[in-house]
C-alpha cells in the first residue's frame, strides 16, 4: 500500500503514537501522506469513525475522501473528513444545548451579518458595516467576546464596534443563529466549560489530522488542543501537516505563532520534513528557495526535484499593462502551438483589478479563459434566495432568512407590513415567524396584509412537514420541484432578468442546486461505517446549507486559460505559469505600514511567502513580468521591479530575454495566429 512513498513520507505515515508535525514543502505530496496515514491508522486497528481529518475547504475534503476511498475502500466512509467549520457544526448540533442552542440553529452568511450589523449600529452604509464585520471577526478569531474586545479597544472607533458587537450577539441569540466565527468559538467554549462533553469528544476522536496547519487561527488551534487533550494526555493523537513558507492568510486571522508554539505545547512532538518536490523542475525550485531565503526560518528546509533542470525562469520588463497582457497572450499562444492545452496555462497576479488587461487581450485573441475566485455558486442571488427558504424551514427563528423568503418572489407583502410585523415581534420578544399568528398582530394589520402573512406561514409549515418526512414515501427531489412550482420561482427569474438568456442561465443554476440537494438527501455524502447508503431528510440537509461555499459547475472542466489571484491559486498547479505585475507596491503590496518597522517587516515576510506560492504553482515553465510604468488613477507613473525579482537570484544570461528569444516569440505568435485562422 505504501510502496510509492519516499522515506520521509513513510516516516510521517508510520508515526502513529503521539503528536507529529509534517513540514510539507510545496508539491511534496502532503495529501498523499495524510490519506496514507489514515489508511495506516485503520490498518493498525483504529476504527475509521474515530479518525478525523480537518481541512480548510470542502473541495480539499472531497479530494481527500476520494483518495482515502481508493486506499481502504468503504472503510473511508466512516472517517470524519471535513472543514474546521463543519466540525464545529457537528459539535454544536450534538451538544450545543449546553450553551442554550437548539440543534436547528441557523448559520448566517456574510450578507445576513452585514444586514444585522447595520441594524445594530444604526447605519445604512455597507462599507462601514463590512469594516465592523471584519473587526469583530478578528476579535472572535483571537478568542475575545464583546466585553473583552471593549476592554482592549484601541480607540473610540474600536469602542463603538465593541458595543455594536454586544448588540449583535444579543440578536444572534434571539435568532438562535451563529456566524462562521461562532462555529469555532462556541465549540471551544462548550468543550472548555463542560468537562463531560469534552471527555466524550476526546474519547470519540482517536486521532486528529490537520491539513494546511499554517493557516489555522488562534481559536482553531485552541479547539484542536482541547479535542486531542493537550495537557491531559501524555501523547496526544495529533498530526499537523503544513508549511511555514506558505502562510499567506494573516489578514484573515491565520498566525504563524501556532507553528512556533506547537513544540512547546507538545514536548513529545516529532518533526518530519518533506523536501522532495514532485511538481516543478529544479530551475523553478531554485528561484523559489532563493526568494524565500531572506525570511526568518522556523524550520529550515530546501526543496529539490528529480524532474530535471527544465527551462530557465524568464523575467520580462513590459512598458505598461496592455503590453504585459499582449506578451502573456503571445507566450500562451506559443505554448499552444507546442502542444499545450489552454487549461495548462495560468496567469497569476496579486490583485483582482490586474485581470482586466489580460481579459481584454485574451478576448481579442479569441482564447477561452476563466477567472478563478470569481462569484462562488452560493454567492449567486438565485441560490441565496433558495438557501433562505431552506434555512427558514430548518429554523423558524431565523429572521434574516424569513425576510428574504417572504419577499422572494413578491407576494403582496410590503415593507410597511413587515415593519409592523417587526414592531409586534420586538414587543412580544418573538421571532418574526412566531409572530405571524400572534393575536396582537390581528389588531395591528389590515385584513388583506394579515391574510397574506397567514398564507405564507401556513405554506412554510406544510413545506417544513414535507421536508422533515421526505424520505421513503416522498423523495426530496419531488418536494423541491413542487416547492419551486408553488412559489413560481422560474417566472420570478424571467421577470427580473435583463434577457431571456440570463434568466435561462440562472434557472440552470437552480436546477443544478436541486440536483445537488437531492443527491445529498439520497445518501451520496452520508453513509454508515459499512458503506451502506443512508437517505437523509431534506430538513436535515437544509440545516447545513449556509455552511457550504462551492458547487462543481458545468464549465469546471472547460479547456480555458486560468486567471487567478495568488491567494486563490494556493493549492493549485499548472504546467505553464505567467506571474504578472511583480512590482514594488503590487508585490509586495504597500510594504510600509504607517511607519511601524515591525509591522512593515511582518508584511514583507508574508508578501514574500505569497511570491513563493506563486513561483511554486509552475510545473514546467515560469515567466515573471514587471511594469516600467503603472496607471495610478488617470496618470501613468514610473514603476520599479519588485525586490523579489532580485531575490530570485536568476542568471541574467538566461533570465533576461535576448533579441533572438524575442524573434522566436514573434515567430511563435505568428504561427499561433495562423493556426487559429486555419481552425
Provide the greatest CA pair distance for the chain. Answer: 86
Q: What is the pLDDT of residues 329-366, one digit of tens each?
A: 999 999 998 999 999 999 999 988 888 889 989 988 88
Average pLDDT over residues 62-82: 86
Assign residue 173 a region (left: φ > 0; alpha: ψ between -120 and 50; beta: otherwise): alpha
Cβ-in-10-Å burial (0-12, 13-18, 19+) of 396 comes to: buried
Candidate from 172-186, 264-278, 643-657 with smallest mean pLDDT: 643-657
Q: Supply the pLDDT for residue 279.
A: 94
Supply 352's cell numbers: 483582482
Within 275-365, strands assigned E span: 276-277, 304-305, 314-318, 345-349
Return binding residues for ATP: 24-31
The answer to whether the Cα torsion of 279, 281, 284, 288 is positive or negative is positive
Supply 350's cell numbers: 496579486
Supply 273's cell numbers: 520534513
d(CA 502, CA 103): 38
Query: Percent of the chain having pLDDT more than 70?
Result: 89
Supply 227's cell numbers: 479535542
Cβ-in-10-Å burial (0-12, 13-18, 19+) of 632 comes to: exposed
For all residues of the chain together, what is the average pLDDT? 86
d(CA 158, CA 170): 19
* DSSP secondary structure string for all residues of 438-450: -HHHHTTS-HHHH
Residue that is written with C-alpha cell 412550482 in the block: 485
* Letter string b/e over residues 228-245, b meaning 16 or more CB atoms within 10 A of that residue's CB: bbbeeeeebbbbbbbbbb
Assign residue 554 a region (left: φ > 0; alpha: ψ between -120 and 50; beta: otherwise): alpha
Q: What is the pLDDT of residues 536-567, one digit of tens each?
A: 777 777 776 766 544 444 445 678 999 999 99
Candidate from 87-91, 204-208, 423-427 with smallest mean pLDDT: 423-427
How many CB atoms lie under 10 A from the CB of residue 387?
21
How many CB atoms lie under 10 A from the CB of residue 353?
10
Residue 272 · residue 11 · CB < 8 Å: yes
Q: What is the pLDDT of residues 117-128, one digit of tens each?
A: 998 998 888 899
Return binding residues: 24-31
Query: In the predicted model, is pLDDT for residue 225 greater than 50?
Result: yes
- Provide the Cα torsion 31, 37, 42, 46; round to 10°: -120
Residue 316 · residue 623 · CB < 8 Å: yes
Q: What angle do CA 277, 36, 51 make, to 5 degrees?
A: 130
Supply 20's cell numbers: 507529529
Catalytic amino acids?
Answer: 30-31, 211-212, 246, 617
Query: In the predicted model, is pLDDT for residue 322 greater than 70?
Result: yes
Residue ranges of domains in the chain, CATH in brackets: 7-93+184-274 (3.40.50.300), 106-175 (1.10.10.160), 284-376+556-678 (3.40.50.300), 378-547 (1.10.486.10)
pLDDT tier, 534 (very low <50, low <70, confident <90, very high otherwise): low
Residue 388 · residue 401 · CB < 8 Å: yes
d(CA 21, CA 259): 9
Supply 648's cell numbers: 530570485
Amino acid at each position: 500500500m505504501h510502496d510509492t512513498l519516499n522515506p520521509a513520507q513513510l516516516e510521517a505515515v508510520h508515526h502513529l503514537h503521539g503528536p507529529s508535525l509534517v513540514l510539507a514543502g510545496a508539491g511534496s505530496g502532503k495529501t498523499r501522506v495524510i490519506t496514507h496515514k489514515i489508511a495506516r491508522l485503520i490498518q493498525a486497528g483504529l476504527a475509521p469513525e474515530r479518525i478525523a481529518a480537518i481541512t480548510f475547504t470542502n473541495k480539499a475534503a472531497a479530494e481527500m475522501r476520494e483518495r482515502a476511498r481508493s486506499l481502504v475502500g468503504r472503510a473511508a466512509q466512516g472517517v470524519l473528513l471535513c472543514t474546521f467549520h463543519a466540525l464545529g457544526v457537528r459539535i454544536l448540533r450534538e451538544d450545543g444545548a449546553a450553551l442554550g442552542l437548539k440543534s436547528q440553529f441557523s448559520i448566517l452568511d456574510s450578507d445576513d451579518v452585514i444586514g444585522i450589523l447595520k441594524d445594530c449600529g444604526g447605519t445604512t452604509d455597507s462599507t462601514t458595516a463590512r469594516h465592523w464585520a471584519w473587526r469583530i471577526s478578528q476579535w472572535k478569531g483571537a478568542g475575545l467576546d464583546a466585553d473583552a474586545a471593549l476592554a482592549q479597544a484601541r480607540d473610540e472607533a474600536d469602542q463603538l464596534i465593541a458595543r455594536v458587537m454586544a448588540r449583535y450577539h444579543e440578536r444572534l441569540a434571539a435568532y438562535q443563529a451563529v456566524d462562521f466565527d461562532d462555529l469555532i468559538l462556541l465549540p471551544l467554549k462548550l468543550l472548555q466549560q463542560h468537562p463531560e462533553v469534552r471527555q466524550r469528544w476526546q474519547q470519540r476522536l482517536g486521532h486528529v489530522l490537520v491539513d494546511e496547519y499554517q493557516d489555522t487561527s488562534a481559536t482553531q488551534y485552541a479547539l484542536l488542543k482541547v479535542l486531542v487533550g493537550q495537557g491531559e494526555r501524555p501523547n496526544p493523537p495529533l498530526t499537523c501537516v503544513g508549511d511555514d513558507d506558505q502562510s499567506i492568510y494573516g489578514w484573515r486571522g491565520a498566525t504563524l505563532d501556532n507553528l512556533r508554539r506547537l513544540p512547546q505545547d507538545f514536548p513529545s512532538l516529532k518533526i518530519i520534513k518533506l523536501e522532495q518536490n514532485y511538481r516543478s523542475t529544479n530551475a523553478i525550485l531554485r528561484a523559489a528557495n532563493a526568494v524565500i531565503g531572506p525570511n526568518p526560518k522556523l524550520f529550515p528546509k530546501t526543496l529539490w526535484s528529480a524532474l530535471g533542470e527544465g527551462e530557465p525562469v524568464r523575467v520580462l520588463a513590459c512598458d505598461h499593462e496592455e503590453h504585459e497582457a499582449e506578451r502573456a497572450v503571445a507566450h500562451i499562444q506559443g505554448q499552444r502551438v507546442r502542444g499545450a492545452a489552454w487549461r495548462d496555462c495560468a496567469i497569476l497576479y496579486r490583485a483582482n483589478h490586474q485581470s482586466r488587461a489580460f481579459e481584454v487581450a485574451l478576448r481579442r485573441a479569441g482564447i477561452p479563459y476563466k477567472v478563478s475566485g470569481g462569484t462562488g455558486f452560493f454567492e449567486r442571488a438565485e441560490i441565496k434566495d433558495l438557501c433562505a427558504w431552506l434555512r427558514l424551514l430548518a429554523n423558524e427563528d431565523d429572521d434574516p432568512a424569513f425576510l428574504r423568503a417572504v419577499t422572494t418572489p413578491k407576494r403582496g407583502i410590503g415593507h410597511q407590513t413587515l415593519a409592523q410585523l417587526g414592531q409586534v415581534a420586538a414587543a412580544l420578544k418573538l421571532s418574526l415567524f412566531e409572530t405571524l399568528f400572534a393575536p396582537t398582530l390581528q389588531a395591528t394589520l389590515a385584513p388583506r396584509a394579515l391574510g397574506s402573512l397567514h398564507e405564507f406561514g401556513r405554506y412554510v409549515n406544510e413545506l417544513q412537514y414535507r421536508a422533515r418526512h421526505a424520505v421513503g414515501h416522498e423523495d426530496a427531489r419531488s418536494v423541491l420541484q413542487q416547492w419551486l412550482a408553488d412559489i413560481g420561482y422560474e417566472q420570478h427569474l424571467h421577470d427580473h432578468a435583463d434577457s431571456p438568456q440570463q434568466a435561462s442561465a440562472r434557472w440552470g443554476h437552480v436546477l443544478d442546486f436541486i440536483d445537488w440537494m437531492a443527491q445529498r438527501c439520497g445518501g451520496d455524502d452520508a453513509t454508515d461505517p459499512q458503506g451502506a447508503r443512508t437517505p437523509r431528510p431534506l430538513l436535515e440537509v437544509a440545516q447545513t446549507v449556509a455552511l457550504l461555499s462551492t458547487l462543481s459547475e458545468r464549465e469546471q472542466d472547460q479547456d480555458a486559460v486560468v486567471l487567478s489571484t495568488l491567494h486563490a491559486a494556493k493549492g493549485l498547479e499548472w504546467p505553464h505559469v505567467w506571474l504578472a505585475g511583480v512590482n514594488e507596491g503590487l508585490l509586495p503590496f504597500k510594504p510600509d505600514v504607517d511607519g511601524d518597522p515591525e509591522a512593515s517587516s511582518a508584511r514583507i515576510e508574508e508578501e514574500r511567502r505569497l511570491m513563493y506560492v506563486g513561483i511554486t504553482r509552475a510545473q514546467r515553465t515560469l515567466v515573471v513580468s514587471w511594469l516600467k510604468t503603472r496607471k495610478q488613477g488617470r496618470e501613468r507613473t514610473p514603476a520599479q521591479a519588485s525586490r523579489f525579482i532580485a531575490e530570485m537570484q536568476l542568471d541574467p544570461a538566461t533570465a533576461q530575454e535576448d533579441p533572438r528569444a524575442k524573434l522566436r516569440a514573434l515567430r511563435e505568435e505568428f504561427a499561433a495566429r495562423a493556426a487559429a485562422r486555419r481552425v
